[in-house]
Amino acid sequence: MIVAFSISPTTGDETGGVSEAVAAAVRVVRESGLPNETNAMFTNIEGEWDEVMAVVKKAVDVVAEVSPRVGLVLKADIRPGYDGQLTAKVERVERALEQS
């Protein structure tokens, strides 16, 4: 499965920024060893259901350490029997673009 998720603390630093809390969550994902990528809006992670959800929970817990309330947006692509789709899905779209 691939999960795209975004964690938002309700409190930020003195400027309203949340990058430190978000960085702590991304660090959890990267240290998990699962395939992942982070963009301006979401972090994507790929693996089996239980391992992915455990990483998402740990990332939320890290943010909750610095914020009394945490928002989580999560979208999942559940396709049993397929792996490597974090990059393969993008490669298929790029090939289609090259053909047109």
Q: What percent of the chain has pLDDT over 70?
A: 94
| Single pTM value for the model | 0.89
Judged against a pLDDT cut of 90, whether residue 19 lies above it is answered with: no
How confident is the prediction for the chain on average, in pLDDT?
A: 93
pLDDT score at 78: 96
- Predicted confidence (pLDDT) per residue in 59-77, tens digit: 999 999 988 899 999 999 9
28-33: long-range contacts, CB 8 A cutoff, minimum separation 24: 28/55, 28/58, 28/59, 28/62, 29/55, 29/59
Mean pLDDT of 7-26: 82
